[in-house]
Structure 1
Amino acid sequence: MLCLVIALIINACQTKGADGNVSKAAAYQDVPFEQEVSVKYPFEGPKEALKVRADRNGVIQVLTEEGLFRTYGGAFLYPGRLVKDQTYRALGDKTLRDLVLYQEQLVYLDSVAVLSNAWAGKLFDLHGVAGAKIVCPSERFTFLVAGDDLIRGIRSNDILWETSTPKELLMVKYHPASKTHYVLSKTAIFSLDEEEGALTNLYSGNGLTCFDFIDEGQKIAVGTEDGYFIFDLSTNKASTKNSQLPCPAITSIKNIDGSLWIGSEKGAFRERKDGSYDYYFGERWLVGQEVIDIAKGPHGEVLFLTDQGLSKLEFDTHTLYEKAMYFEDQVRNRHIRFGFNASLGNMEKGNVASGMLKDSDNDGLWTAMYLAGQAFRYGVNGDDEALENCRESLDAMERLYTINPVEGFPSRSFNRSGYEKHLADPERWQRSDHPEWDWKATTSSDEAIGHVFAFGVLAEVVDEPAIRKKAIQLLDALMQHVVDHDFYLVDYDGNPTLWGKWNPDYVNGFPPMVGDRKLNSSNIIAMLQTAYHFTQKEIYKDKAFELMQDHGYLQNLMVPMENIGKAEDGSDEWAAMLSQSWNHSDDEMYFLGYWGLYRYAFNDSLKTQYGSAIKDHWEAERPEKDGLWNIFSALVSPNDYDQEEAIWYLKQYPMDLIDWTMVNSHRKDIVILDKNFREQATAKVLPPDELRIRRHNANRFALDGGGEGKAEYSAGDIWLLPYWMGRYLGLISGPEANVKNQY
């Protein structure tokens, strides 16, 4: 009965060609959104930093035990540095203990006076407080000065009042609406009357560290060594402490324009409206780890001070299109190697000017994904630059086939001879006929499916005859090689490569629950359909039906994802090894293949089956919120593809694509799951800008990892492919400057 059903599906009425170019989905309107980047200013060596402030003139000063420093240079991806501030040389002779703002001007405290260079330098109020360490301005040039044993209120060198300093004093802040100073020690919160200087104990506790006003001064957010709580100044009642934070060891709290920013021993975070947090930790965001102080920058930035330096978080608003144009420049400026879409490696701690373009086992795959993105870009607006990019990268792809002696066999990569890589990897690198060039062998199945995806997209989307012809010729050459060699990629030595295997003996040698059986079946049918669609060679259609009818490949590719798991007991070692856990590279291969599997289906009945398999896979992948998988799923269900999550991915992916080390496993605000087959570490996936940079073949749930800033990834495959594919399919509009943000 099952065979009859399969036969009916396969022999149903034939359809030719892809669907229309534009889906029926309601497009996301591309309105401006907020995007942050970090500009960094490291100290030349660790410093005992105390405070950071910025005045109305845009001057940023950092107070340390060694004196004042200020920022020099600095731009996104190009760090500046902190240098000794010698603007007012006389300040260099003073031992400054505190730095505050009054009327947006910088005010200093030393052992003798409260002073400033503003107001023509007239502010120089002697305080007479031994061990003076804190100054707090109030009104009418009145200043509170706190020392080891004494707190005084002074104005114009007059002492207005004084009181004893609470034990373990930490900070003092003034709120003008209530005309009250609030004083924090490690164990208590006090109010201090402006007129008489009387201290009143409002709250007693342990491990207090910092505070700031919220809700227009009606409440304060109080940091502790293990979380923070809200203290209502009108009722003197404290909320339950919140310790479910990225890092509950709080060191600084700052209310900046209504957003609560919290510094900790491991980075900084901002509370979102839904109660979750934006987390800024790791060298993508911060110089150093423990936040000592937070301040508002001169143009709305947020400043984070650590013992290692200063980080300035800048915010800008732009559309997805504007972000795409930034990434287009990033790729062309730093990531094109012989036309390949390449990574920049061997960098010195994030210094993009020190990097070297690296070859990769997957040069063909990453370039295929970039190439398809540029084809979609051309399909959207007929962009001449995109067309030239297609031409250049297609030339590189073509040379993968012509630089080696095997007909229709794509090399992994090529490079000039004499490069030191050959000594480290002699089996993969082979000499070409030209003495100047070598090529990399052992090409894998992920390369093959990437090539077929790109060639199909080019042939369908780009209406330039020479490009279309070359794409079809390369597609034909690859697939003829696969068919001629009994569904293997056969290398220069006459043997199949390790992974280039779609032969039934290999594929059906796996138990049904081992993912490679389903994956390889899905991929080879997609590859044959694509080849037939553009060449109309019957051999490709015949072979596809042979695999589906005689070898069960349709059944294989239809196996539900919930059935994929570890090989059963008694399976061979290869099957057991391949099924230890979910392989996220497989997801990339599946979805790249889905373009040809669904779009170029031989008939409508098969297309329905394929659509069901794609939808089933997408349901399994939804927790990862991968923008590319969501965009691909819109091929099948344009009105049900998690549009909001796709846009979230594109917005949240950082502008900084450097492979910084990022760590999240210590966080208390995330729910850690038990170890599982799919390697889903947390109940909810973290935003891309809180994780290490990952291509689409990596597990987006991995919490820790990175390369210490030694490489920069290209946006070509990571970001530009889903964006331009979404544009081409009508899922994302062109930029809309005056429409309210949807998300």
Structure 2
Amino acid sequence: MKIKLIQISIFIFSIFIYDASAQSVSREVHQDVHFTQEYAIIYSTPLHNLSEFSLAADENGVVQILNNNQLLRPSSGHFQDWGTLVADQSYLPMKDKNISAISSYKEQIVYLDDQALFSNAWAGSLYIKHDLGQPDIFEGGENFDFLIAEGKTIQYLKNKQGNSPAIQIPGNIVSIKFDSNGGLFYMLTAEKVFSFNPKNQEIKEEFSHPGMTALDFFLSKKQLIVGTSIGYFTYDIITKVKSPIIDELPALTINTIKSKGDDIWFGTDQGAFVIDGNDEIRYYYLERWLPGERVFDLEIQDNSVTMLTDNGLGIIMQEEMTLAEKAEFYEKSLRKNHLRNGFNASLILAESGKIETGRLKDSDNDGLWTSMYLASQGFRYAVTEEQEALDQVRQSLLAMERLYTINPVPGFPSRSFERSGYIEILSDPERWQPTEDPEWDWKTTTSSDEVIGHVFVFSVLAEVVKDKWVREKSIELLDTLMSHIIKNDMYLVDFDGKPTLWGKWHPDYVNSFPTTVGDRKLNSSNSISMLQTAYHFTGKEKYKQKALELMNDYGYLENLMRPMAIIGMSGGDSDSYAQMLSESWNHSDDEMYFLGYWGLYKYALNDELKADFKKSILDHWEAERPEKDGLWNISTALVQPESFDLGESIWWLQKHPLDLIQWNVKNSHRKDIEILPPNFRRQSTPTVLTPAETRIARHNGNRFDLDNNGNGKTAYSPGDIWLLPYWMGRYFEVID
């Protein structure tokens, strides 16, 4: 069953609104409704001798784990704060029990030891002695009756009604499941499945199959679901028909199966997965979801799924929330954890997964990531007029302003700044320079992606934030930056008097590349966007004239209008630099394009250019659609609000994990996805996996990367990743 497009339970409808030109257009709109947001709470402790009878939970939320005949319980775990498993001392009489199996029955915990099957629920009235030595498997029937097993021996127990004699069957029993419809117990061995009728004690062989490992009864389809080491198959108890092995799965070695409603959950040697009623698969693997790889047991409750692994417990919480509530969660997390000198910053974690051990990290792209976060807050204020949003705009805009004033080069934006004396912990220490103030250092070699980010956010703030200081400061910084670039002949010139490596928009540089190299198209597109934006807000003719000169005399219009389909490797006859730039699709370029599209389209010098630019933007968007990136799609609503993959945008926003820690991720082993041959775009699969199953990726990352070694040591900010597309969607009124 190859993975399909996730079906999203959302309400999408079309309404008619008026754009700035007062022309009526059809616009897709998502009505924000509750969806299920999943996140994990982890309890890490090495465990031993586990089985599918090592975990149980009751209706009150009590969870117990059986480890080497000792009962454990979760302790001190919270979201993004791992807990541990400790000895359960809540009920002293349990200390002396030689417990060999635990399970849940009628939403209560039931125990099996060398003397009896019993529970502390129902006022302790459930206590049935047995005749076996040390049974370790049991299953409850309809009315407090149980079938227990030890090796090849079974015994049927009836509370206060007398037990049946012990019976032997061929083969050691692995699992027992009860069919509440037919009133039969089904017993699994490695080679055969037997039914047991408690009314007449009849044992009947149902079928045989080699290498069986797990069993459950799927009530909604009256099937047995049977796990093996190479997948699973179904057995229809009415028609007595076995299906072929189903092996197009995330992992094949199945240890336990639990069904509830239309969902079937599988615990495997490589995490867990669920197949829902639409045959869609969700995969839970490695530390974002689980403390260990091997899943031995599962407990499904109303709003959570508890998974027992060889290294502890993972509880997948399933919380109903709206996108607005998710945004509020991210806003609070960002303000608490991710603001450094007003910059939108990541955390470097001293201990994997522990936010409280995090150190705010400088970045080559402090200005870019802050621009994207700052734009989100500008859109947020435009939509809500919340004072908190305006306060965040002012704080981060001050940080952006200081990027220009802290260095000695007029109009040159620093990459970052930091208090002096910490060079040894900063990234790229060779790029830092002292300032006139001995308290501070600034970072040089600013890149073109910084510049387009600055131009984007200054224009967004000037356009949408109705605050005099914010507007005037944004236009002032925009003019300062673009005056520097015009003065230096379309170069960004550093403190050493030389252009930075990437800050080059002069025709000698741009047109030196073959037409197949993306930088020729990208730098042309960004150049015109930046110049048009500066002209729109300042009215200075120098910007307009330079844009027209580049388009008419140096082919920048032709460059930026070339279709994305021609972008590829430069070929052997080009220089090594061009070949390096065109080894594969550059996703950082995508980010620069789309940030630039705001100014390219919105501030086009005339309607004819605007129509051309729309064609170019839509051509690029068509190439990006397989990624289902929320920012690329919602940005496209600027030019085509009636059709921009709104459903995929909402899918991306909803499925994005709350946990933005860069954990280890692995998907390349999966058999439920089709792996494509190596290609220029580095697209690994025909359909992108959900953000919850892949690495945390900024918008300049490849969403088709299947594996990642993150080790839980970096926590990203939601400011640029999630809040920008969400609040842009709110501003465009495509998210209600």
Q: TM-score range by the shorter chain?
A: over 0.9
Contact residue 163 and residue 197 of structure 1 kept, 8 A: no
**Aligned partner of residue 534 in structure 2, secondary structure:** helix
User: Who is 2:36 aligned against?
Assistant: 34
In 1, the alpha carbon distance for the partners of 2:143 and 2:234 equals 30
Contact residue 459 and residue 474 of structure 2 kept, 8 A: yes
1:369 aligned to 2:375?
no
1:528 aligned to 2:504?
no
User: Who is 1:197 aligned against?
Assistant: 201
Q: 1:562 to 1:84 in 2, by over 3 A?
A: same
In 2, the alpha carbon distance for the partners of 1:176 and 1:271 equals 22
Whichever residue aligns with residue 611 of structure 1, its letter is K
Q: CA deviation at 1:84?
A: 0.8
Q: CA deviation at 1:140?
A: 4.2
Q: CA deviation at 1:423?
A: 8.0
Whichever residue aligns with residue 343 of structure 1, its letter is S
In 1, the alpha carbon distance for the partners of 2:695 and 2:396 equals 27
Q: 1:649 to 1:216 in 2, by over 3 A?
A: closer
Q: Which residue of 634, 646, 650 maps to 1:647?
A: 650
Whichever residue aligns with residue 72 of structure 2, its letter is F
**Aligned partner of residue 588 in structure 1, secondary structure:** helix
User: Who is 2:607 aligned against?
Assistant: 604
Q: CA deviation at 1:263?
A: 1.3
User: Who is 2:115 aligned against?
Assistant: 112
Q: Which residue of 273, 294, 316 maps to 1:290?
A: 294
Q: CA deviation at 1:300?
A: 3.0
> After the TM superposition, which residues 427-506 of structure 1 pair with which residues of structure 2 at under 5 Å, given as runs?
427-506=430-509
Q: Which residue of 221, 230, 252 maps to 1:226?
A: 230
**Residues 168-187 of structure 1: CA deviation (Å, up to 9, x unaligned):** 31011222332211101111
Q: 1:600 to 1:656 in 2, by over 3 A?
A: same
Q: CA deviation at 1:457?
A: 0.3
User: Who is 2:169 aligned against?
Assistant: 165
In 2, the alpha carbon distance for the partners of 1:407 and 1:533 equals 22
Q: Which residue of 385, 388, 404 maps to 1:385?
A: 388
**Residues 40-87 of structure 1: CA deviation (Å, up to 9, x unaligned):** 1111x3433332111133211111214111122322222222111112
In 2, the alpha carbon distance for the partners of 1:625 and 1:104 equals 40
> After the TM superposition, which residues 57-72 of structure 1 pair with which residues of structure 2 at under 5 Å, given as runs?
57-72=60-75
Contact residue 262 and residue 277 of structure 2 kept, 8 A: no
Q: 1:626 to 1:231 in 2, by over 3 A?
A: same
In 2, the alpha carbon distance for the partners of 1:692 and 1:625 equals 15
**Aligned partner of residue 689 in structure 1, secondary structure:** coil
In 1, the alpha carbon distance for the partners of 2:513 and 2:220 equals 65
In 2, the alpha carbon distance for the partners of 1:648 and 1:129 equals 53
Q: CA deviation at 1:154?
A: 2.5
In 1, the alpha carbon distance for the partners of 2:192 and 2:24 equals 64
**Aligned partner of residue 332 in structure 2, secondary structure:** helix
Q: 1:20 to 1:485 in 2, by over 3 A?
A: farther
**Aligned partner of residue 702 in structure 1, secondary structure:** coil
In 1, the alpha carbon distance for the partners of 2:506 and 2:570 equals 20
Q: CA deviation at 1:259?
A: 1.3
> After the TM superposition, which residues 86-485 of structure 1 pair with which residues of structure 2 at under 5 Å, given as runs?
86-155=89-158, 156=160, 158-216=162-220, 218-297=222-301, 299-421=302-424, 425-485=428-488
Q: CA deviation at 1:705?
A: 0.7
User: Who is 2:27 aligned against?
Assistant: 25
**Residues 5-25 of structure 1: CA deviation (Å, up to 9, x unaligned):** xxxxxxxxxxxx976799751
Moved more, 272-281 or 548-557: 272-281
Q: CA deviation at 1:106?
A: 1.7
Whichever residue aligns with residue 341 of structure 2, its letter is F
Q: CA deviation at 1:274?
A: 3.2
Aligned-residue CA RMSD (Å) = 1.7
Q: 1:139 to 1:724 in 2, by over 3 A?
A: closer
Contact residue 100 and residue 134 of structure 2 kept, 8 A: no
User: Who is 2:49 aligned against?
Assistant: 48
Structure with the bigger RCO (C-alpha within 8 Å, sep 6+) is 1
Equivalenced residue count is 715
**Residues 685-726 of structure 1: CA deviation (Å, up to 9, x unaligned):** 001110010000000001001411111111101011001101
**Aligned partner of residue 409 in structure 2, secondary structure:** coil
Q: CA deviation at 1:597?
A: 0.3
**Aligned partner of residue 449 in structure 1, secondary structure:** helix
In 2, the alpha carbon distance for the partners of 1:653 and 1:270 equals 18
> After the TM superposition, which residues 555-574 of structure 1 pair with which residues of structure 2 at under 5 Å, given as runs?
555-574=558-577
Contact residue 149 and residue 165 of structure 1 kept, 8 A: yes
In 2, the alpha carbon distance for the partners of 1:639 and 1:709 equals 40
**Aligned partner of residue 79 in structure 1, secondary structure:** coil
Q: CA deviation at 1:121?
A: 2.9
Contact residue 126 and residue 157 of structure 1 kept, 8 A: no
Whichever residue aligns with residue 79 of structure 2, its letter is F
1:85 aligned to 2:65?
no
In 1, the alpha carbon distance for the partners of 2:680 and 2:382 equals 39
In 2, the alpha carbon distance for the partners of 1:224 and 1:113 equals 31
Contact residue 659 and residue 708 of structure 1 kept, 8 A: yes
Q: 1:645 to 1:667 in 2, by over 3 A?
A: same
User: Who is 2:8 aligned against?
Assistant: none
Contact residue 514 and residue 567 of structure 1 kept, 8 A: yes
Per the normalisation by structure 2, the TM-score is 0.95
Q: Which residue of 721, 724, 727 maps to 2:724?
A: 721
Contact residue 412 and residue 481 of structure 2 kept, 8 A: yes
**Residues 249-280 of structure 1: CA deviation (Å, up to 9, x unaligned):** 11111112331111111111111333230111
In 1, the alpha carbon distance for the partners of 2:653 and 2:293 equals 27
Q: CA deviation at 1:572?
A: 0.5
Moved more, 208-217 or 388-397: 208-217
In 1, the alpha carbon distance for the partners of 2:522 and 2:449 equals 11
**Aligned partner of residue 547 in structure 1, secondary structure:** helix
In 1, the alpha carbon distance for the partners of 2:384 and 2:426 equals 46
Whichever residue aligns with residue 30 of structure 2, its letter is Y
**Aligned partner of residue 292 in structure 1, secondary structure:** strand
Moved more, 159-168 or 226-235: 159-168
Contact residue 287 and residue 664 of structure 2 kept, 8 A: yes
User: Who is 1:656 aligned against?
Assistant: 659
Contact residue 361 and residue 426 of structure 2 kept, 8 A: no
Moved more, 225-234 or 677-686: 225-234
**Residues 545-586 of structure 1: CA deviation (Å, up to 9, x unaligned):** 111111100011011100000002210010000000000000
Contact residue 131 and residue 148 of structure 1 kept, 8 A: no
Contact residue 342 and residue 396 of structure 2 kept, 8 A: yes
Contact residue 383 and residue 730 of structure 2 kept, 8 A: yes
**Residues 227-267 of structure 1: CA deviation (Å, up to 9, x unaligned):** 11111011211112210001121111111233111111111
| Residue segments in structure 1 that go unaligned for 5+ positions in a row | 1-16, 734-743
**Residues 315-372 of structure 1: CA deviation (Å, up to 9, x unaligned):** 1111111111111111111001111000011341100011010000000000000011
| Residue segments in structure 2 that go unaligned for 5+ positions in a row | 1-18
Q: CA deviation at 1:161?
A: 3.4
Q: 1:502 to 1:422 in 2, by over 3 A?
A: farther
Contact residue 162 and residue 197 of structure 1 kept, 8 A: no
Contact residue 659 and residue 712 of structure 1 kept, 8 A: yes
In 2, the alpha carbon distance for the partners of 1:584 and 1:657 equals 20
**Residues 601-650 of structure 1: CA deviation (Å, up to 9, x unaligned):** 00000111111100100000000000100011111111111111111111
